[in-house]
Amino acid sequence: MKKFLVLILAATVALSLVACGNTSGEAAASTKSPQASNAASTSNADTVFNIGICQLVQHEALDAATKGFKDALSEKLGDKVVFDEQNAAGDSTTCSTICNQFVSNNYDLILGNATPALQAAVSSTNTIPVLGTSITDYATALDIDNWTGVTGYNVSGTSDLAPLDKQAEMIKELFPNAKNIGILYCSAEANSKYQVETIGKYLTEMGYTLTEYTFADTNDVTAVAQNACLNSDVIYIPTDNTAASCTEAINNVAESAGIPVVCGEEGACKGCGIATLSIRYYDIGYTTGEMAYEILVNGADVSTMEVQYASETTYKYMPDRAEKLGVKIPGNYTAIESK
């Protein structure tokens, strides 16, 4: 036991020595390059903002949101902003480790990209402003009753909620004769469930019969998709990370069965859908960046900032797939370019 204590003591002394040595060196370095001064709340004249970005998983939509966020801030702040971008590689408990790191570095702002990332950030601090993006429903994600559009504490951000009412109308417009709609999504995703419930209400009111087909992970996708194709006239896929990452498999099943797929976002539509009414993740990321600027520079109060939604939506379709299935696409749709 004594040895252990000695070890800890030695490590502490060594670390603190290094700490002292480096901070003095850093002060010198920071005059040359502002980016180097990571812990520089010391320099007052031109403050450098340190921002921690915790993203749940690498994924086209989430990456776009992060990029939008960074672009917005970099445009406004130039080199006076330093990003510490961390990716939890899909592991929700890693988000806590990352956010703890951000809080202990005393960053000026934390961005949580996707629900578990935001939740971990919110759990780790009640002083540092936290912004979220790619969150579908803040009330559920943060366990807030009587949702009024603001959280009331150090959290705000943007939602990626697709215009579900318009998506339902789109299905009606494209497939007026269909009866059975199969909804295909991953049961491990919190946001998908929420969307399915919301769009389900609209579709039932329109007189469709709905059946939910859920899969647990990518291994089940093919079997579940096959079952869905057998029993539906049209398949709808909400904004779902897991579905988006295995569109190839879904397409193989749906295309050979001749069943059209309508998607909640463009990435999935490119892979397996024929049409979508989609928001752009880059846009909501960009909006989040603008909110961050308001907080950091203009001293806006996060707790009273309303959660923002995507303002622009676009009707898009996949020309070759629509043609193959003989679906008539109205003129206000733009074609998705397939690379």
Partner 1 sequence: MNYFATLNPLNLLNAIPGCIAQGLIWGIMALGVYVTFRLLDFADLTVDGSFATGGAVTVMLTLAGFPVPVALLIAVAAGLAAGLVTGLLHTALGIPPILSGILTQIALYSINLHIMGMAANQAISVQKYKLLISLMHVSKAILTAGLLAVVLITVLYWYFGTEQGCSIRATGCNPAMSKANSININFTKVLALSISNGIIGLAGGLMAQYQGFADVNMGRGAIVIGLAAVIIGEVFGGVLLRKFPNFALRMVFVVFGGVIYYIVVGVVLWLKLNSNDLKLFTAIIVAISLAVPHLQAKSKSSFRRTAKLSEAALKAMCNKGGQ
Which positions touch partner 1 (CB under 8 A)?
A: 3-4, 7, 15-16, 18-19, 22-23, 25-26, 29-30, 33, 35-36, 38-39, 58, 84, 86-101, 103-106, 115-116, 119-120, 122-126, 140-144, 153, 186-190, 192-193, 216
Residue 174 Cβ vs partner 1, minimum distance, rounded to whole Å: 29
Closer by beta carbon to partner 1, 11 or else 206: 11
Closer by beta carbon to partner 1, 241 or else 251: 241
Q: Which candidate, 231, 222, 237, places its Cα nearest to that of 185?
A: 237
Closer by beta carbon to partner 1, 100 or else 180: 100
d(CA 183, CA 201): 13
Residue 76 Cβ vs partner 1, minimum distance, rounded to whole Å: 22
Residue 157 Cβ vs partner 1, minimum distance, rounded to whole Å: 15
Structural element, H or E, at residue 34: none
d(CA 287, CA 12): 43
Closer by beta carbon to partner 1, 3 or else 339: 3
Query: What's the first-to-final CA gap in the chain, in angstroms?
Result: 63
Show the tokens assigned to 39: 């812990």
Residue 12 Cβ vs partner 1, minimum distance, rounded to whole Å: 9
Backbone angles phi, psi at 314, to 5 degrees: -130, 135
Cβ neighbours around 34 below 10 Å, total: 17
Show the tokens assigned to 130: 């936290």
d(CA 277, CA 111): 26
Closer by beta carbon to partner 1, 58 or else 256: 58
Closer by beta carbon to partner 1, 82 or else 272: 82
d(CA 76, CA 280): 21
Q: Which residues contact 59 (CB under 8 A, 6 or more apart)?
A: 241, 244, 245
Q: Which residues contact 93 (CB under 8 A, 6 or more apart)?
A: none
Residue 71 Cβ vs partner 1, minimum distance, rounded to whole Å: 21
d(CA 264, CA 165): 11
Residue 74 Cβ vs partner 1, minimum distance, rounded to whole Å: 17
Closer by beta carbon to partner 1, 148 or else 334: 148
Residue 171 Cβ vs partner 1, minimum distance, rounded to whole Å: 23
